[in-house]
Amino acid sequence: MRLFLILFSLLWIALGATIVLHTGRARGRLKEMILGVNVRLWAALAVLLGMIFLVAAFAVQEVFWLALVLGILALAKGVYFAVSPLQQVRSLLEWWSDRATETTIRLWGLVSFTLGVMLLSWLM
């Protein structure tokens, strides 16, 4: 579990830094990736990651609260994507990819970077 958390934190750091530094290109790539895949697949992935984070919360005590909160949020996101009307979920994803301001996208990139650094620093 520790290795999974380390790898995931490195992914968050890389993704967050890329979004902050290259917002336009990162937004384009993420749009292709997210809108090109079935929403229900993203729901299943979010639920799976949520469960992994919940297991990791109990397996790695140093990051219990952070992993627990992230696991619950990922599960909630997955359930929302799975049970909400498809058009509503698509509309939300299209808003993020088309209409969210550059500042909003960069802020979430910074949040991703910060969560990755927090997770990695607590694991080391």
Is residue 114 predicted with pLDDT exceeding 90?
yes
Closest CA to 16 of 98, 120, 89: 120
Domain housing 113: 2-123
> Sorting pLDDT into bands at 50, 70 and 90, what band is 37?
confident
| Structure confidence by residue, pLDDT tens digits, 8-24 | 999 999 999 999 999 99
| Structure confidence by residue, pLDDT tens digits, 65-97 | 999 999 999 999 999 999 999 999 989 988 988
- Number of domains the chain contains: 1
Give the whole-angstrom CA distance, residue 6 versus residue 98. 31
